[in-house]
Structure 1
Amino acid sequence: MHSLLILNGPNLNLLGTRQPEVYGAETLEMLENSCIQYAQKSGVQAQCLQSNHEGVLLDAIHDARGKHAGIVLNAGAYTHTSVALMDAIYSVEIPTVEVHLSNIHAREAFRHQSYIARAAIGQICGFGPQGYLMAIDALIQKLSQSSDIT
């Protein structure tokens, strides 16, 4: 069984209490459990990690090489600032889908820039927690096309 890494960045540990009008009422634990269960039903494993520290996210991407077939990444605010995360995605050559709970393109202008999108195979935003499940589906489809998942 192949594995996906579900990686969440800064402030996502506050889901459910942080601006629920923007990010919803679902907690990070609920979101992670949904991803794990959905992945299992789809025939893959999912491992979840959240960190507020850029270096921890970088290490997780590096460590994913040889361990995970794909990455679902919500880099939070690092999306708009981190060339290092972009470079890490390029470096490990693991298909990555960028996810955001809110529609970053309908928000403040500084959120329209995504360094992650340059390295990702796609971006899903504005669909709330459902976006993570869409990203899992997209990765499974992409990986099956390249024979990485059979």
Structure 2
Amino acid sequence: MKLRIINGPNLNLLGKREPEIYGGKSFEDYFKDLQIKYNHIELSYVQSNIEGELITHIQDADTMYDGIILNAAAYTHTSVGIGDAVGAIEIPVIEVHISNTFGREEFRHQSYISKYAKGVILGFGLQSYDLAIQSFL
């Protein structure tokens, strides 16, 4: 099984940015832990702060992976384009969020991705990614 993790804007700052919300560990360090734990799965990871690049990563994954774990971060709430890209591909997408977006500002309650996602996991910190992987097994 091949899974692609796609992270959106500012997630490159995990471990530094608002640790009270996002924790103190970088995603790169956490990703190494996932690779060890799920060594029987081919995991790859990409992060971009640029909306168009995220759309391209989603489209490209459709022919190369069995599924996507997508944390579009702030673009979740603003990007019709990312939502359309998820709706246009054949492979399943699990939408993840580190924080409970429903416990935050009201604008974060809207997702342009959820409608097309196989499922949504939020509020479990970095463990949200682990739960998403488990959903594919």
Separation (CA, whole Å) in 2 of partners of 1:21 and 1:88? 32
Separation (CA, whole Å) in 1 of partners of 2:90 and 2:109? 24
**CA displacement at 1:37 relative to structure 2:** 2.4
- The runs of at least 4 consecutive aligned structure 1 residues that moved more than 4 Å come to none
**C-alpha offsets along residues 56-81 of structure 1, whole Å, 9 cap, x if unaligned?**
11111111122100000000000001
- Tell me if 1:29 matches 2:28: yes
TM-score with structure 2 length normalisation? Answer: 0.96
Match of 2:5? 6
**C-alpha offsets along residues 10-53 of structure 1, whole Å, 9 cap, x if unaligned?**
0000000100001000102112212322332xx31100000000
Aligned length: 137
**C-alpha offsets along residues 70-119 of structure 1, whole Å, 9 cap, x if unaligned?**
00000000000111111111111210001111000111100000111111
Match of 1:143? none
Identical aligned pairs, as a percentage? 49
Which structure 2 residues correspond to residues 1-150 of structure 1 after superposition, within 5 A? 2-40=1-39, 43-140=40-137
Alignment check: 8 A CA contact 1:38 1:133 kept: no
CA RMSD of aligned residues (A): 1.0
Separation (CA, whole Å) in 1 of partners of 2:10 and 2:130? 20
